[in-house]
Structure 1
Amino acid sequence: MADYGLHRPFLHILLIILLSLIAYSNTFHSPFQFDDVRVIVENPIIKDIQFFVEPSKAKAFPGAFGYDALNTRFIGYLTFALNYKIGGLDVTGYHIVNLLIHISVAVLIYFFILLSFRTPVLSESPLRAYQVQIAVFTALLFACHPVQTQAVTYIWQRVTSLAALLYMLSLTAYIKYRLINGRASLKSLFFYLICILSAVTAMKTKETAIMLPVTIVMYEFMFFKEKLKRRMLCLTPLLFTMLIIPLSLISWDMTLLEMAGDINEVTRGASVLPRWVYLITEFRVIITYIRLIFFPVGQNLDYDYPAYQSFFDTEVLLSFVFLVSLLSFSLYLYYRYRRTATHVRLISFGVFWFFINLLLESSIIPLNNVIFEHRLYLPSIGVFLA
């Protein structure tokens, strides 16, 4: 049955597309909201494609939605500029692109799972008989889950879904490259170049993509078997891509001390919260995120979420204990069954994925809002996988 399904990926992809279209069929005429106005409607940068040919011209428009953002989120802004070039401010075109990106992420999740069951660790797993069902179910769950609504329908959050698309493309290309078993060929080079190029463009779309190399390193050590030297040859170029984002945030005409101060400033976001207060509040926020994945009720675009002042607040302390217990249990599963029920490490990998990809926005870098549902877009893949 599984083999039959593997020969009909077209039907599975068609199902993903159809159900996604049904789920978001009423969103194509939703108007621009909140930051959409500053990013698109009132932003001169996306209205002239020349700014993307010569980005230095955009210095006349500094700030969070001007040259500074173009420097760090070039790819995301380029897609808005192309949307504007084709359809002006007709909101339908922007929603169509957002949905196409979302569907593409779901399709990549499908292929990611199928490829994972071909890795040395999972190829002999008893779950391989159900790989198609797992792949289709996980992709559909991601595509149609209500918690993804904000990342898909809030036009500005295209940067979130597009970064996730490039993230998944890079990871999937890496797995494909590794499955060639290191044989030097044009095919292996092609997939490795796709992996690197996707990683670079993901990091020029949204800063959360900085965790991609960490995820790939984790995947390599959890699902492939290889000598360390060979692993490092594969992984080192990817690890260097982590420099892209910090280097995009600093000005090269500064002294080292000024650069250090600049990095400290940009890693504070626009928040007035101290780093410690933001961190302990995020322990509660992550619990809310987990609840939204399993019980998506009471969703909100703009939460009125309290900032917690003490680690010893009962809610904060219990949240911290739960999160540490969840991570500890995942580590236990990995080490307990690493030589026997190897498929169990999928659970551990999914949990680790969730926390790793929340790290940038839910740790010590205080952002203007402590919680946004679109921040769950990429991390939620790990939960659905687990």
Structure 2
Amino acid sequence: MESRHRHSRNFLPSRWVGGACSLLALGVYANTFQHGFAFDDLGLILHNPTIIDWRQIPALFAQGYWGHKVGGGGNYRPLTVTTFALEYGLWGSHPTGYHVVNVLLHACNTWLLFHLLRLYRASLGIAGIAALVFAVHPVHVEAVASIVGRAELLGFFCGSLMWWSWRRATCVHRLVSGWRLLAVAAYLGALLSKENFIVLPAALWLAEALRARRRLTSLRAWSRLTLPFGSLALALVPYFGLRALANEGVEQVSGVGNIPLDGYTLGQRVVTMASAGLEWYRLLLIGYPLKPWYDGFNVNIEPTWTWRTTIGLCLTLALILIGLAAWRRAPLVSFGLGLWFITLALVSNIPIPLGTLIAERWLYAPSVGYAIAVSYGAFFLWRRPANGYRALVVVWLGVMVGSYTYGTTRRNMDWKNHFTLFRRFIQTDPTHAIGYVNVASCLVETNVPLARALYEKALTLDERLLIPRLQLAEFDLDEGRLPEACARLRRLLNEEPPDLPLPSQDWALAHALSARALATTGQADAALQEALTAQRYAPAEPRVLITVGRTFTQLGHYAAATQAFQHLVTLFPDETDYRRYLGESLLAEQRPAEAIRELEAVLRARPNDDSARRLLDEARHRRVAP
């Protein structure tokens, strides 16, 4: 694959252009450096006990991405989580460092994209415009501004290194095996970053086929081109071996979260995604409005033929035909369109129904195809003989890049924290329950009446949601409304899926709250069984351990309560609240000396904690009492 216009003889401008695009990528995301944690950042970084000790990194390769929260999720990204563990050792629960790393990765990816296009002899203008569009496109905000978007950034980075190593193998004949081995290692890194990068060899093969298209005149020539790609399959052996070790399948288990197209036939998925997939094109062309969540409530997923289905299929077919027609004369166009379809194929919900219908972060790699198409279109117009075309190109690119830059910097602020993100989601999707649930979760500690109202609003929009029903039951327990709490929990537990994959944080919390309700009503034996079930369902979930520990205390099982809180402190040694719970439990167990040690640690971190100071005074009094 190559442009008909060769490299500029002056290599310095090429470096400057690539560097300028990378600096622009840094600039448009610089306002994320002071952001906090949002959405999945909370569960995967802030409340993830598996990343707090870098010495436990080998264990990360034996568990799923969400393995500390839920089983059966089908996600396996140990390299991504390893980067979180290494960073946790540097800056702990302070988010700034994580955001800086994400932005630096995006800038590096922009630079790599520019130079990879140059390696395939794309002109300086085409490579520069493609990198420019990629650097500032607002659809990338979720991947860059969300810390857990690291999976996309790291997978793209490793995939680019794979690509670069493969090209080097074709240029440095004496070191072919070494470069190919490096390409295999980089491909494995991409796989261990995120699953959807498994398709990269197909895109690389397409690029090499387009580059050698004039020589592919026989079956032997095609074989000579294709056979070396078998070496990349070597990466699949350790990858699927490690994945099996982690007990993660290739798809999400039904019943673990919602799978929008679960039960749909292949034909129904094609019809549905032909319609719903128009969102992909909207997100690329316009980049507005952007949302953190797309499902059956804001995207139509009925498997029925509509005008949207017709438009979606016609648009897809037209792009495929353009790609085939451009094979000889415009190989860059063929590559861009091929890259789009290849990198989007696995996450399209057509081959495998996924737990998410559409996600903006999934467009990080496919958007390269769009960036190439834009750059080629600009170059095509620029080369027209009429005088007005160049002015048109300048205006078009200026408006596009300017609007994208503005949209990205504005969208970054929506991702400032969990509250700002979902407050904005309520504005864009006022009939979607998820926004109300997540805003309410931010208000649980500070404004219970408003949080309750938001949870109830969410249930009017989707009565199946588990989290608001759990939280409302907990509110009822806190407010002494036992009959209402027990009724909610009974109905909820009757819906528990059979053969539930473990761990399961939400269902564990349901059992923990049930244990608390039963203990309050004097049903000690039943409460004890529910508490033990909750611990078995989610042995590392903080809310579950806190609720279970308090239930054990209420039942007079002080040693069991202490054990639960001790486990919590072991998992999260820097959380002073958990140490206070442990100190209180040790005090109840008549172990004042140990309680003093824990409570003093709390006060060293938080000298103004009055509740910890009162407990410490009581512990000291008990230690000296005869």
Q: More displaced, 206-215 or 281-290? A: 281-290
Partner of 1:122: none
Q: Secondary structure at the match of 2:93?
A: coil
1:301 aligns with 2:292: yes
CA distance in 2, matches of 1:252, 1:44: 17
SS in 2 for 1:219: helix
Q: Choose from 228, 231, 239 the match for 1:234.
A: 228
The offset of 1:65, in angstroms, is 5.2
| 1:179 matched residue in structure 2 | 171
Does residue 1:23 correspond to 2:56, yes or no?
no
2:251 and 2:353 in contact (8 A); partners too: no
Retained in 2: the 8 A contact 1:280–1:311?
yes
CA distance in structure 1 between the aligned counterparts of 2:71 and 2:55, rounded to whole angstroms? 13
In the TM superposition, what whole-angstrom CA distance separates every residue of 1:78-127 from its partner, at most 9, and x where no partner exists? 1111111111111110011101111111111111111101xxxxxxxxxx
* Partners of 1:296 and 1:306 in 2: CA distance: 16
* TM-score, normalised with respect to structure 2: 0.52
CA deviations over 1:121-173 (Å, ceiling 9, x no partner)? xxxxxxx6xx1121111111101111111110011111011101111221122
- In the other structure, the counterpart of 1:125 is none
1:12 corresponding residue in structure 2:
17
Distance 1:228 1:2 in 2: 27
Structure exhibiting the larger radius of gyration computed from Cα positions: 2
Tell me the SS of whatever aligns to 1:378: coil
Q: Which residue of 2 aligns with 1:210?
A: 198
- 2: CA distance, partners of 1:12 / 1:62: 40
Deviation digits for residues 255-302 of structure 1, max 9, x if unmatched?
xxxx9xx55655998415334455433223432222222222212222
Contact 2:18 2:115 in 1 (8 A): no
Q: 1:330 aligns with which of 317, 323, 326?
A: 323
Matches of 2:189 and 2:150, distance apart in 1: 14
Structure 1 residues 321, 240: closer, same or farther in 2, change over 3 A? farther
1:49 corresponds to 2:54: yes
The within-5 A match list for 1:1-386 is: 3=8, 5-55=10-60, 63=67, 72-117=76-121, 131-180=123-172, 183=173, 185-186=174-175, 188-224=176-212, 225=215, 227-242=221-236, 246-250=240-244, 263=250, 270=257, 271-274=259-262, 275-276=264-265, 278-303=269-294, 304-334=297-327, 338=328, 341=329, 344-362=330-348, 363-386=350-373
Is the alpha carbon distance of 1:37 and 1:215 closer, same or farther for their aligned partners in structure 2, counting shifts above 3 Å? same
Q: Which residue number corresponds to residue 121 of structure 1? A: none
8 Å Cα contact 1:170-1:195 kept in structure 2: yes
Residues 349, 191 of structure 1: CA spacing in aligned structure 2 closer, same or farther, 3 A cutoff? same
| Cα pair 1:330 1:347 within 8 Å, conserved | yes
Cα distance in structure 1, aligned partners of 2:120 and 2:343: 19
Preserved contact between residue 151 and residue 158 of structure 1 (Cα < 8 Å): yes
- What is the RMSD computed on CA atoms of the aligned residues? 3.0
Asked whether the 8 Å contact 2:109–2:156 carries over to 1, the reply is yes
AA of the residue aligned to 2:203: T
- Where structure 1 has 5 or more consecutive residues not aligned to the other structure, the ranges are 118-127, 254-258
Q: Tell me by how many angstroms 1:179 deviates.
A: 2.9
Name the TM-score, length of structure 1 as normaliser: 0.82
Mark the CA change 1:13 to 1:371 in structure 2 (over 3 Å): closer, same or farther: same
Unaligned runs of 5+ in 2: 1-5, 374-626
Q: Following the alignment from structure 1 to structure 2, what is the Cα–Cα distance between the partners of residues 96 and 191? A: 30
AA partner of residue 376 (structure 1): L
Distance 2:89 2:137 in 1: 32
Give 1:72 deviation, angstroms: 2.4
> What is the Cα deviation at residue 385 of structure 1?
1.3
CA distance in 2, matches of 1:166, 1:133: 25
SS of residue matched to 2:98: helix
Change (3 A) 1:113 1:328: same
Deviations 1:149-203 (A, max 9, x none): 11100111110111011112211221222233xx2x23x3443222111101100
Gap change, CA 1:356 and 1:375, over 3 Å in 2:
same
Cα distance 1:161–1:266, how it changes in 2: closer, same or farther (>3 A)? farther
1:8 CA drift (Å): 3.5
Q: Is the 8 A contact 2:60 2:82 kept in 1?
A: no
Instruction: Return the letter of the residue paired with 1:158.
Output: R
3-state SS in 2 of match to 1:217: helix
CA separation of 1:15/1:320 partners in 2, compared to 1, >3 Å: closer, same or farther? same
Q: Is the 8 A contact 2:61 2:242 kept in 1?
A: no
Does the CA contact (< 8 Å) of 1:71 and 1:248 recur in 2?
no
* Correspondence for 2:620: none
Q: Report the AA paired with residue 232 of structure 2.
A: L
Alpha-carbon contact 2:107-2:135 (below 8 Å) kept: yes
Output the CA distance in 2 between the equivalents of 1:133 and 1:148.
Answer: 22
Q: 1:251 to 1:17 in 2, by over 3 A?
A: closer
Matched residue type, 1:135:
A
Checking the alignment, whether the CA contact within 8 Å between 1:36 and 1:155 is kept in structure 2 is yes
Deviation for aligned residue 1:18: 2.2
The amino acid that maps onto 2:356 is N
Would the aligned equivalents of 2:60 and 2:78 in 1 still touch at CA under 8 Å? no
Q: For 2:278, give the aligned amino acid.
A: I
* Paired residue secondary structure (1:347): helix
Q: Secondary structure, in 3 states, of the residue corresponding to 2:132?
A: helix
Q: Which amino acid aligns with 1:23?
A: V
Once the two structures are TM-superposed, the CA of residue 244 in structure 1 deviates from its matched residue by 5.3
Looking at structure 2, the residues matched to 273 and 281 of structure 1 have their Cα atoms a distance apart, in angstroms, of 9
> 1:124 corresponds to which residue?
none
Check conservation: 1:105, 1:164, Cα contact below 8 A: yes
Decide whether aligned partners of structure 1 residues 110 and 307 sit closer, same or farther in structure 2, where only a CA change above 3 A counts.
same
Conservation of the 8 A alpha-carbon contact between 1:83 and 1:93: yes
Answer whether contact 1:354 1:381 (CA < 8 A) is retained.
yes
Structure with greater contact order relative to length (CA < 8 Å, sep ≥ 6): 1
Shift of 1:67: 8.9
